[in-house]
Structure 1
Amino acid sequence: MTEAQLTAWLTLSFTPQLGGVGLARLISVDSAENIVRYSSQQLQHLGLKAAQIRYLQQPSHPEVEQCLQWQAESDWHHIVSPLEDDYPYLLNQMSSHPPVLFVKGDASVLHRQQVAIVGSRHASLEGLKAAKEFAYQLAEQGLTITSGLALGIDGHAHDGALLAQGTTVAVLGSGVEQIYPARHKGLAERIVQQGGALVSELRPDTKPRAEHFPRRNRIISGLSQGVLVVEAAERSGSLITARYAIEQNRDVFALPGSIYQAGFAGSNRLLQQGAYLALSPQDIIDELNPSLTRPFSLPRSSQSQLNLIPEASPPPVENHSQSLPFPQLFANVGNEPTPVDILAERTHIPVHEVMMQILELELAGYVSSVPGGYILNHGSKPK
């Protein structure tokens, strides 16, 4: 794709409220290069709204220029559209595939056979151990491990693949230059250095927002041939990924857990609804790629290995003079870790709303995610 073609494509991709479906409809009429040159009357005839026409009629688009400059800065920076062979085939089969992908790292890894491993950010030690060991063994078999770079299961899955000298893909709910959570910046660097990739449909400088994360889950499942849910509560982002996987005709696997632990309720429900039971990585291999026959080798299962991902302390939080968002939820977070389901019980707010609100508070720096739940950041309570 030439720079002129990419410029036109990005301009259409960033057009307000157009989306992938609207963009596909436009390019079924004409090329992106031609459409951005259309007159207001021609654009109106195509059904575009006034705000969209005003955007396309602007003489310049700084955000497009910034993206082109970002790509030119490094051989490891890639902007990939569905019109190119570099765009992942499986992802392109989705009706809601992203109109553009920003990739930092080796873009060719997106064409390898991938297995997604997802789960709770507040997983048990057993769940973290399972995520790392499954990722390690699957990566040893040549599979690429895909996840969301979150704390908990995601981070341990990425780390397990790297320990096996394998490749892993992190799909972000922010731009690839705005790593979230910040304590995983080192992990993100290791992913790129070891031949993997960071991927986002958002511009490289886009900061994380709560609404970005559910949508990025469709990319995690869309890139993968199968999705393994290691540990998930009844209502969690991992189940959103599983639902996308089912809609995309991907295989869904789940590890069983105790019926007395709320953190496994979602995983067990998936099994009840027909997900494949995964008792070992071989169960996944048998479904996805029976031709892989290399023997498994287990990493050392020790406490020290489970803690190989450095969990740096969050940066100090400034006092905020503006009104506090979600005061009812904030008032129920203290110095001891409080799980999401307990917060929902205390506040009488539905779990899915608690998850969205607590993420907003975390992004704003009021609270931190730790094993077992959320705690108040020191000095975060506004005066």
Structure 2
Amino acid sequence: MDDKASSLRADPDPWLLILQTPGIGCRTYLKLLHFFDSPEKVLAATRAELQGLGLQQKSIDHLFAGNLNGIQLSLEWLGQPDNHLLTLTEAGYPPLLAAIADPPPLLFVHGDPAHLCQPQLAIVGSRNPSPAGLSNARNFAAYLAGAGITITSGLAVGIDGAAHEGALQQGATIAVTGTGLDRVYPASHRDLAHKIAKNGLLVSEFPPGTPPRPENFPRRNRIISGLSVGTLVVEAALQSGSLITARLAVEQDREVFAIPGSIHNPQARGCHVLIRQGAKLVETGQDIVDELSSLLGTLEIPAPARAPESKNPGFQLDPDYRKLLDSMGYDPISADALIATTGLTPEAVSSMLLLLELEEYVSSAPGGYYCRTEKS
């Protein structure tokens, strides 16, 4: 009998068998698919053929061992409601993602897979954003989702979470994870993940059981940008995963947008670098809609959001409050500096800042600093 891997195989999905073979990563998997055309033919290959393609001995031995235990967790997960597996050769596989240099051979999906083929914009940014950054992420995501664009991000704390939340106000969102979809990372986003599953989907190239390893997240980033026609960076430090996502978007020939910020905000410096490198500076969601209209066709533009009603209907900005706001500008400033600038007493400034924050005219920043909001 010819020494064939297929002679040891039964019904379990060959895509999963190859995916969960030690030593076979995305690039090796794609190389095998390119050479053999299908997973079934990979499993029908001889040892000599697999060795000729550079497979490690442990990988070949695993393929020939016929051990199905490694894929059992994935099969059990796929048997649960709203869980799906998309392969690179299926019609439902997102075409933009298929066009990148290293598309995932498999996508695990929880939710409605149809969202994957909808026009998408990635929104990414800092895990430690400023209050203004969080507000920008929510507002841009809500506006663009209302225009019919699905918002894609990575479910991380900070800008990612704010983008998902904003999108859910007006439309759909996709979360690309760096773990298997049988767990939520970070755990604090469990409720958010459940909302996303109902109004979009969660997607991962990693099989169930995969923990949040550091090396998983750069791999996740290429999927975020690869699914999308463009990537918006809201805030990013000079060394951040968001800049990796932007670089990947450029390599994938996708648009990159960045929101400028204060020269004093370290979380804005990454955006400024991107703008100097050619990213499109944007100030409103409409700027992005205008840029993408030729790629996405006619979009339904949402009506401007109504200004939030005051939590205290009797509150009025008297001259002292206006003086305090005018002294702040939009860069973070300390209470001590405001006291020195306005000549108001420390007690008055403290009380006024508290009320202005409750009324959403100002937001507090780390270190005892304050800055104005769009409402002011």
Using structure 1 for the length normalisation, give the TM-score.
0.74
Residue equivalent to 1:172: 177
Q: 1:53 to 1:295 in 2, by over 3 A?
A: closer
User: What are the superposed Cα offsets for residues 108-136 of structure 1, whole Å, 9 maximum, x if unpaired?
Assistant: 10000000111111111111001000000
Which stretch of the first structure deviates more once superposed, 244-253 or 38-47? 38-47
Note if contact 1:173-1:216 (Cα within 8 Å) is conserved in structure 2: yes
1:267 aligns with 2:274: no
The structure-2 alpha-carbon separation of the partners of 1:302 and 1:125, relative to structure 1 and needing over 3 Å to count, comes to farther
Whether 2:58 is the aligned partner of 1:51: answer yes
- Find the residue that maps to 2:67 and give its secondary structure: coil
Structure 1 counterpart SS, 2:142: helix
Query: Contact 1:179–1:188 (CA<8 Å) still a contact in 2?
Result: yes
Tell me which residue corresponds to 2:329. Answer: none
Whether contact under 8 Å (2:232, 2:256) holds in the other structure is yes
Q: Given the alignment of the two structures, is residue 156 of structure 1 paired with residue 162 of structure 2, yes or no?
A: yes
Q: 1:303 to 1:39 in 2, by over 3 A?
A: farther
CA displacement at 1:297 relative to structure 2: 2.5
Aligned pairs for 1:65-144 (under 5 A) are 65-74=72-81, 76-144=82-150
- Residue in 2 that maps onto 1:15: 21
Q: CA deviation at 1:42?
A: 3.7
Paired residues, what number? 302
1:187 aligns to what?
Answer: 192
Distance in 1, matches of 2:10 and 2:85, equals 13
| 8 Å CA contact retained: 1:254, 1:277 | yes
Q: Secondary structure in 2 aligned to 1:28? A: helix
Task: Give the gaps of 5 or more residues in structure 1.
Answer: 305-370, 374-383
Q: TM-score, normalised by structure 2?
A: 0.76
The answer as to whether partners of 2:146 and 2:300 remain within 8 angstroms in 1 is no
In structure 2, the CA distance between the partners of 1:249 and 1:42, relative to structure 1 (3 Å rule), is closer
- CA apart distance, 1:97: 1.0
Partner of residue 255, structure 1: 259
Runs of 5+ consecutive residues of structure 2 not aligned to the other structure: 1-8, 312-364, 368-376
Query: Partner of 1:294 in structure 2?
Result: 301
CA distance in 2, matches of 1:299, 1:168: 22
User: 2:13 aligns to what SS in structure 1?
Assistant: helix
Change (3 A) 1:157 1:184: same
After the TM superposition, which segments of 4 or more aligned residues of structure 1 sit over 4 Å from their partners? 3-6, 299-304
Q: Mapping of 1:353-372 within 5 angstroms?
A: none
Give the AA of the match of 2:178.
G
Contact kept in structure 2, 1:136 and 1:299, CA below 8 Å: no
Q: Is the 8 A contact 2:126 2:235 kept in 1?
A: yes
| Of 207, 214, 227, the match for 1:210 | 214
- Alignment-derived partner of residue 347 in structure 1: none
Alpha-carbon contact 1:19-1:99 (below 8 Å) kept: no
RMSD: 2.2
Matches within 5 A, 1:184-333: 184-194=189-199, 196-289=200-293, 291-298=298-305, 300=307
